[in-house]
Structure 1
Amino acid sequence: MTQQSKIAFIKTQAEVAMTIPVTAINEHGEVLEKFVACERPLTIYLNWRPIVTLMTLGARPEALVLGYLKNQGFVSDLSQLKSVIVDWDTNSAAVITDEQTADIEQKLNEKTVTTGCGQGTVFGGFMEGVDDIVLPQPHLKQSTLYGLLNNINAYNETYKNAGAVHGCGLCEDDVIKAFVEDIGRHNAVDTLAGDMWLSEDIGANKIFYTTGRLTSEMVIKVAKMGIPVLLSRSGVTQMGLELAQKLGITMIARAKGRHFLVYNGADNIEFDAQQGAKS
């Protein structure tokens, strides 16, 4: 399937406002003009079967829907997709595929409530293929990591205006190739997964950045994207760390400014800026 034909099955480019203006009163009793992040439901239908309702900011919803369905194991063959239509009037996203979906009911019946922002759910197909993932061993310089953390400050626009959102980025060395914000970190990672799937991009040369904590489901999603380095300004969970060790993901957390903690894969990092780290 050519790039042009891949884009053709996406029937919408459904843009919506990320924030809206409101008034708030501060501790001095002053009325201030502020912004709040928009939160809206989006129900995903696969071949007319309702799958899940996501609470989302609405950034790049077509990529979010495809990334979610792929990460959950509901779809896997890009060439079989017929259409993706997002309608914000009905808060719905309809995906039609010729791929075999006879096992939808079984997957929907096998669900786990997760630690996602708010409350998330993963389904029966989420773990499919994880044991077969083989990730490359990266080489990452400490100085490159500092450059990336500095460059990421130019993003997070919705967070700067309104707060209440997470951001995720696809990075190559210290360059941010793509960045998206959403109400929950899993929506953001699914959106980037959808983008990568549509463009048939590879993850071997990338670093995945997130503002959210590194839980088991975050590690699995990044591994499915083929990305060997996971970087967060937040912390890690025990299961997230165990999976990173099992899958060979270099896990770096509490990363902000010139501080970071390597929880797995320290041998893959060249500490070439240690004097700067002490300043």
Structure 2
Amino acid sequence: MTEPSSSPSVPLPTPEAIRSLGARRITAGGVAQRAEAIAAEVPVALIYNGQSFAVMLATPADLEDFARGFSVTEAVVGAAADIRAIEVRAVDRGIELRVTIDDYWALALAARRRSLAGRSGCGLCGVDTFAEALRPVARVASRFTVGPAALRKAIADMPAHQTINAQVGAVHGAAFVGADGSIRALREDIGRHNALDKLIGAVIDDDVGRGDGFVLVSSRCSYEMVHKTAVAGIPLIAAVSAPTSLAIELAEKVGVTLVGFAREGRFTVYAGGERIAPETPAA
């Protein structure tokens, strides 16, 4: 059993995250048998104080970060400090994350307990009501600004930090980036929501401060991605693909700057443009 701790870094791939499987590659020159590096996808059960809450399909890496980030962004606890311990346990069909939380939150969870059947592409699976799906979040109060050059630097540098995706080509990345464009932490998963939860779990107690940087994700930006970013108190999320209409509406409401199509030296600002500093003219 391990005590919760933050570990903002760019980790190397773990053996559990990548599997080698046989495949046939067919080209104009013929057929070749080869071993392919494949992203692992396993059921991960989140169990709080002995009670099952959710089962997600995820990449089996950085699972303590995942448990911590999921617990905060899904309002299982009010803060990372409400988590007393996290135990990662391998079982026959997958992995259990046994999380011990404060009694107050355990009682609150029991009152709203539901069965969630999560899929890698779905961040709201199992939510029973519209109110639960669109639950309120506090407005992000931050005077953080970032220049276009720093955004472009992070966009260009991110692929080199995606160590799992470099081998398998099938996982999303979520990075926490400083105002200078430097990537301070990155987590990967087959699910974009899972990757963001892992990242939030890694940086939530970072002394640098979540209000002094932004999130960059290798996916589209949905409502849930903006919601998780706001819950974590991060003032900006940039995505390499497009946002949804509900994501833009939420970003405007909660004060999160939303950037989409962040790729190839360009990006589009959909909400909170005041945090994007003017371009500095070249000398």
Q: Is the 8 A contact 1:219 1:243 kept in 2?
A: yes
1:220 maps onto 2:219 in alignment: no
Q: Is 2:144 the partner of 1:142?
A: no
Question: Aligned partners of 1:99 and 1:205: how far apart in 2?
Answer: 32
- Alignment partner of 2:76: what SS? coil
Give the number of equivalent residue pairs. Answer: 264
Distance across 1 between alignment mates of 2:65 and 2:133: 18
Task: Give the match for residue 10 of structure 1.
Answer: none
In the TM superposition, residue 138 of structure 1 has moved relative to its aligned partner by 2.8
Overall identity of the aligned pairs, in %: 22
Aligned match of 1:62: 64
CA positional deviation for 1:206: 0.8
Partner Cα distance (1:72, 1:159) in 2: 26
| 2:125 equivalent in structure 1 | 121
Contact 2:171–2:190 under 8 Å retained in 1: yes
In the other structure, the counterpart of 1:103 is: 108
Superposed CA offset, 1:81-121 (max 9, x none): 3321111235211111233122324423498x999615643
Contact 1:214 1:236 in 2 (8 A): yes
Offset of 1:40 from its aligned partner? 0.9
Displacement of 1:192 in angstroms is 1.6
Q: How big is the shift at 1:52?
A: 0.5
Deviations 1:153-187 (A, max 9, x none): 21222222112211100110211000010010111
Q: After alignment, is 211-220 or 96-105 more displaced?
A: 96-105
Which one-letter code corresponds to 1:18 in the other structure? A
| Match of residue 19 from structure 1 | 18
Residue number among 24, 45, 48 corresponding to 1:46 in the alignment: 48
Letter in 1 for 2:227: I
Alignment check: 8 A CA contact 2:46 2:98 kept: yes
Q: Distance in 1 between matches of 2:42 and 2:4?
A: 27
Shift of 1:32: 3.1
Residue 189 of structure 1: SS of its match in structure 2? helix
Cα distance in 2 for residues equivalent to 1:77 and 1:270: 31
* 1:168–1:189 CA contact under 8 A, matched in 2: yes
What residue ranges of structure 1 are gaps of 5+ in the alignment?
A: 8-14
* Alpha-carbon distance in structure 1 between the residues aligned to 2:239 and 2:260: 5
Please give the root-mean-square deviation of Cα atoms over the aligned residues, in Å.
2.9
Unaligned runs of 5+ in 2: 6-13
Task: Tell me the SS of whatever aligns to 1:34.
Answer: strand
Find the aligned partners of 1:146 and 1:115 in 2 and give their Cα distance. Answer: 32
8 Å contact from structure 1 (residues 72, 126) kept in 2: no
Q: Secondary structure at the match of 1:17?
A: helix
Instruction: Give the number of the structure with larger relative contact order, counting CA–CA contacts within 8 Å between residues 6 or more apart.
Output: 2
Residue type of the alignment partner of 1:24: A
CA contact (8 A) 1:180 1:191 kept: yes
Q: Judge conservation of contact 1:57–1:182 (CA < 8 Å) in 2.
A: yes
**How many angstroms apart in 1 are the aligned matches of 2:237 and 2:4?**
28
Asked if the contact 1:73–1:126 (Cα under 8 Å) also holds between the matched residues in 2, the reply is no
Residue by residue, what CA displacement relative to the aligned partner does 1:187-215 show, whole Å, maximum 9, x if unpaired?
Answer: 11111221223446631111101012111
For residues 119 and 126 of structure 1, what CA distance do their matches in structure 2 show?
A: 10
| Structure-2 residue corresponding to 1:74 | 76
Secondary structure at the aligned position of 1:140 is classed as coil
**TM-score, normalised with respect to structure 1:** 0.84
Distance 1:115 1:78, change over 3 A: closer
| Conservation of the 8 A alpha-carbon contact between 1:135 and 1:227 | no
Contact 1:85 1:95 survives alignment (8 Å): yes
SS in 1 for 2:212: coil
Write the mapping of 1:226-245 to structure 2, written as runs, cut at 5 A: 226-245=233-252
Which amino acid is 1:133 matched to?
R
